[in-house]
Structure 1
């Protein structure tokens, strides 16, 4: 079986916090609701949009959640058109991907982003060619459902025992545990380290180089 390293995107590969908070503020403005605290917005990063809006505005009707999701997408698209989207790679991520690929790992992404958003992000950094499987919210239930990981393993010819899910939120860790794969949390993202442990992380890394060392260890 092939070895697969599967990554979340926002908060794991790239730092997109400013963009997400700005789009969420614009979304709330558009539907006439008070802007949420940034910490609350950070809490839903990783969820698909409808599920995120259910958490952000729990008292709103289902139709409002749908409208909010559309307003969020519109705000993000407007930001891209004006060149105000900035999604820098976290320090050490490029080296991590190169090292894992050199060690024979296949690489993939499992993210709450849309296909369009993920492709634009990866293209911006010249990374699209590195990944053999890209799983997004457009084709799967929201995390922590294991569907993204299951499809990624099928695409890559990997098994649960040869797959690692690397992410920054408790949703990533719970998804990994549901799929029966090794769950690696990253401490540089949007959920606290203790939340990653509480969700069932097998390991939590403080820097990408720790992941290289961890995944080079014999099973």
Structure 2
């Protein structure tokens, strides 16, 4: 929301929409704050809870083991019980550590899913331009030509560029001068075909 407000600052000012955008930002900010507070509260309760369980489990194991060893006969049986108690305690801690790692996965997984979804949206996007596999070699090198180029941002929109004609050969320089919004950036972006012409042709090396 902040990025949109900064990039569209002139539009917001032109439509006197500061109050609307402030409310929109406040809502997004409150949603984010409430989510972060909820997550931190849950984690604040979960971390001590998991520590209490792990420590309590260790205490129960050693407490029970101590009684079993005290009741057992002297010698080998006590040694076996003690070794079993140590091994059981180690296994129990491995289980607890597994649960702690699973909690971390639950924290990271939602972020990873959202990130993957955004990446897949870009990867699954079908290009509006069909690129030919076979490159065309032309005898003309280093030239850019606009032939009767007209460009509209929409089918019913007023032309941003109209009947543009010029040719630049290799080594030549052309200055494009105009006020803000006159179409300088639009004209440049048509050369690498970031925008498609509405009418006319843009030729690079005669192609």
Whether these two folds match at TM > 0.5 is: no
Q: Name which one, 1 or 2, has greater alpha-carbon Rg.
A: 2
Shorter-chain TM band: under 0.3
TM-score where L is the length of structure 2: 0.22
Question: Which has the larger helix fraction?
Answer: 2
Question: Which has the larger strand fraction?
Answer: 1
TM-score where L is the length of structure 1: 0.21
Q: Which has the higher contact order (CA 8 A, sep 6+)?
A: 1
